[in-house]
Amino acid sequence: MVIIPTTQTDGHSQPVAITGQEGQDPDEPPIPRPPSSVVEEVKPKNPSSVTEEIDIGTASISTDVETRDGGTSVNPAFSGSANTAHIHDWKCVAAFLEVDTKNGLSTDEAEKRLQIHGPNSLEGAGQVSIWEILLRQVSNSLTIVLLIAMALSYGTLDFIEGAVITAVILLNIILGFGQDFRAEKSMQSLLSLAAPSSRVTRDSKTVQIRAENLVIGDIVNLATGDVVPADLRLLETSNLEIDEANLTGESLPSPKDATVIMSRQKAEAPIGDRSNMAYSSTTVTLGRAIGIVVATGMKTEVGNVADLLRGPKVSTSSNPLIRIGQKLKSGTKSILGLVGTPMQIKLSKFAILLFALAILLAIIVFSANKWHLENEVVLYGICVAVAVIPESLIAVMTITSALAVKAMAASNVVIRRMSSLEAIGGVTSICSDKTGTLTQGKMFAHKVWVPKMGVLSIKDSTNILDPEDGKLEIDGKPLDKDDVGVRDKVTALLPVLDAVALCNFATVSQTNDKENETIGSFEKSTDGNLLQWTAHGDPTEIALQVLAMRLNRGKATLLQTGSLTHIMEHQFDSSLKRMSMVYKNNKDTTLSVFAKGATESILPLLDISPNNLSIINTMVETLASDGLRVLCIASKTIPQQEMRRCKDRSFIESNLTLLGLVGLYDPPRPESLAAVQTCHAAGIKVHMLTGDHLVTASSIARTVGILSSTHSSSAVMSAATFDALTDDQIDNLHELPSVIARCSPTTKVRMVDALKRRGAYCVMTGDGVNDAPALKRADVGIAMGVTGTDVAKEAGDMVLTDDHFQSIVKAVEEGRRLFDNIQKFLMHLLISNIAQVILLLISLAFKDPSGSSIFPLSPLEILWVNMITSSFLALGLGMEEAQANIMTRPPRSLKTGVFTRELIVDKMLYGSCAGILCLLSFIVVIYAPGQGNASLGSGCNKGWNESCEIVFRARATVFALLSFLLLITAWEVKSFYRSLFNLDPDRFPGRFSVCKALVYNRFLLWAVVAGAVITFPVVYIPVVNTTVFKHRGIRWEWGVVAVGVGVYMAFVEAWKGVKRKWGIGSAGDGRAEVTEGGGMV
């Protein structure tokens, strides 16, 4: 049976019993059906329309309440759009969908609708094939350059060089393939959220069906623990609460009421405010309900999230030529590697430039030899082409990035996509969720107001479950129990604490934990074991129980004396927004009633004067303005003779006496403030995008330092206001909001897009399904690993294993360190390439008797320098530690990329110097006194013969000099402007500071030592030197090498001195401004 209240002329409802739905559990309490004549949220005195202040969550908001007059809805007829179902009477919705809410759809009709609308499932994104991942590794310009170099090597039968380049390519592909093998599974995670089965009414019977077979118009039954299978307009509710955190980000379950009809002006209300709707993938935490399906599959709210996660849409232009052109453009950019992060695109463009330069230099070589393309000329052309390409760049970049992944993992940051490594270092904005990210995702009793006491505040608590943690203050003064005045105030406080402890189902206790230890959660017991505070129950009741235990007034303590006996309770009712419990006083003949609930629910039940009521309302507003969720605590005493009336809720919850007010909130994480301050010092703007209410969000934002005390009016905005703005209006704002409350997934995506239009490089953090689209759209998405959903983790580029905002700061620092180190090893590699190109081009003038140019370095010498000597040095530079000022300087501009003006100028100067010195050493050895007529021999490019003695020794000199110049360069580029002899005076002071600074990076030190040692066997081992490397051992030429190294060091140190004196380069060049694109971000 279902009990339906019918409205009488006196405004009260009389229950009338009618036959209920088949399948109704006879032991379950009946579900009240809304009255046929009046549908309202709060019964108004005026039957037209009222505006009621309703406390939802943690702040008071204004909600328009529409009623029906004579059975006609004030809103226009339901049009069938699921997005407007909340502003219509459920009967209008049912009528439009042509369904009898009592009997449900017929099986035949359900089958027809299933054919029309399709299954209630999300469209999968499909698995990314292994071949796609493999193609992704090959389709970048640097790899293409290496492939061409490999083909040319094999084409000239130089199998040694070809094999080496092949090994480099394979190494790059294997490392990249391993990192990207975990294909994006966001859609699969969304699929896992769907309910496997549902209880629906069909053919007048309640049956269990697969959720995917639900159709629009089905009548669905919900109970505690159920996952909502589709978007529903609720028809009937009984104490219904639904956890919508996955969609809204709110930490507390949302109360639902089918009788609510929101006004037409609320058509675009946030999901969290639609109290007459239940959305797919959310979970019923309390009560029961019946609802009608208004959207299924991809048309649901979670389906919209899935659609946003599917990435950029393919062009829908009706013109086939446009579609083909766009596909060709997209494919070409992908093949050339011109997609991805700014650094990837910059390096890809650089690789294309190198490829073009290699072709140009080869043409110059062939032209200088009058296009007589004999083997020697072709070998010289390949030699120049190989010299211009930093073959080890991809390998060094990949290995350095892999090491950075390991370092980040040690800092609780898991990298899902390698591209996010370099991207995080250039971030200019962080868009963060509030609940569980900046806050702890739990409730905490922060303030208590008692009329005769004042305000009790709990501060500096780092473990919200520990009643002994934190400081207690009354009206700003520390609570001192020895103070007589304070003792009187504490006495006034005790009744409030007793009430919140006794009107409570939560338990808080200490348990032994010998294995696990968490900072701030444990303390040592007398036997040496770890005691962990644990709690069970509703988050709000847990917070209240901890509050009472702070003064040893916990429920267990109060009941163990035997003075009170629990009689009964009236559980929390979401429609009434209050609960009460009754205890028998064993020391007298009275009963004690304790009640708690929302202020608008408890205050009308108080026996209080208008003047005192005004004082209470003022205090409620004061606490609410601090972003606190305010609960009213009350009690009364009745004689035990009235025990028979305890079941009468209206009697128990009437004529109450106010005890006090308690303000609760979801507290910030202890490290959030320091993390936000570090971001500000680093030139990073932090934005809070939350599903919570505006007042609460603003309060938390001020607490963690996102908002200053002098923030502008546009710095705080509701999602409704933000979404109402056009893109042009958003772009015309002086600054984008620092806080946006009541966010929907679309709001977060629009915010990310607005930041991008201003030239910002943004990070999005989040943990729920609602965060996934923005995580996907942001330049770097960071998901929470502990509280985060699978959808968020799969959509994110990084995952925090500890959910601490501080870990994001560590990730940014590691990203900046990686960025700096990439510049260092790029500088080192490119100096080598520039030196070789200058040397080889000018040396075209040296010709043998046959007219062929003699190369001063053989192809294998070049490959040895580029792959063996330089690679390990570059890898050592990739392991450099972060500079001391790395988080106090503005972000580098990712538009400029790694190729800053300073890097370009330095590499050209150092490379030119090295190339000229190598050329001079070649000339000195050939034309030195005692070398005869300086004949260049014959066929010296092919191999050794007696006439090639001088050329082979000159090559060995150039090879040795270039090797040692690169060894010195590896130390010089540790800092672009500090002297080698004063690299880090703060970290390494004293007489031997240079030695300490060089030894500090052990890998680089041993790479330099090994590079120096291995040069000698390469020069002197017989056969290998003449046959493989095409040079011979040298003697007096080592003096030329020593002079060249000395001159090079003097030049580099002189240029650094100029930069320091005139403030050139690292002091200010290549850094991004915090404001870009004409507006503050």
- List, by residue number, the catalytic residues: 433
> Could you tell me if residue 817 is left (phi over 0), alpha (psi between -120 and 50 degrees) or otherwise beta?
alpha
Q: Write out the H or E segment, with its range, that includes residue 958.
A: helix 949-972
CA distance from start to end of the chain: 59
Dist. CA 167–CA 929, nearest whole Å = 44
Dist. CA 825–CA 871, nearest whole Å = 9
Give the amino acid at 585: N
Q: Which two tokens stand for residue 865?
A: 């320098």
Coil, strand, or helix at residue 573?
strand
Dist. CA 718–CA 690, nearest whole Å = 10
CB contact at 8 A, 828 and 918: no
In 10 A of CB 265, how many CB atoms? Answer: 10
Dist. CA 242–CA 222, nearest whole Å = 10
- Burial (CB < 10 A; 0-12, 13-18, 19+), residue 165, is buried
Which residues, including other chains, have CB under 8 Å from residue 745's CB and lie 6 or more apart?
247, 304, 305, 308, 770, 771, 772, 773, 774
Dist. CA 669–CA 703, nearest whole Å = 10
Give the amino acid at 116: I
Alpha helix positions (H), 314-392 = 320-335, 342-368, 375-388
In 10 A of CB 857, how many CB atoms? Answer: 28
Dist. CA 691–CA 744, nearest whole Å = 7
CB contact at 8 A, 133 and 175: no
With CA atoms as reference, report the closest residue to 657 among 638, 684, 644, 679.
638
Dist. CA 647–CA 645, nearest whole Å = 5
CB contact at 8 A, 812 and 800: no
Give the amino acid at 697: A
Coil, strand, or helix at residue 766?
strand
Q: How far is CA 964 from CA 595, 874, 915, 957, 1044, in A?
A: 83, 14, 13, 11, 9
Coil, strand, or helix at residue 214?
coil
- The residue count of the chain comes to 1081
Coil, strand, or helix at residue 1013?
helix
With CA atoms as reference, report the closest residue to 747 among 370, 433, 373, 528.
433
Secondary structure (DSSP) of 98-156: T--TTT-B-HHHHHHHHHHH--SSPPP--PPPHHHHHHHHH-SHHHHHHHHHHHHHHHT
Dist. CA 540–CA 255, nearest whole Å = 14
Dist. CA 719–CA 979, nearest whole Å = 53
Q: Which two tokens stand for residue 660?
A: 């006090």
Dist. CA 660–CA 359, nearest whole Å = 83
Dist. CA 968–CA 917, nearest whole Å = 14
With CA atoms as reference, report the closest residue to 859 among 394, 365, 357.
365
CB contact at 8 A, 1070 and 893: yes
Q: Which two tokens stand for residue 864?
A: 């040895």
CB contact at 8 A, 385 and 833: no
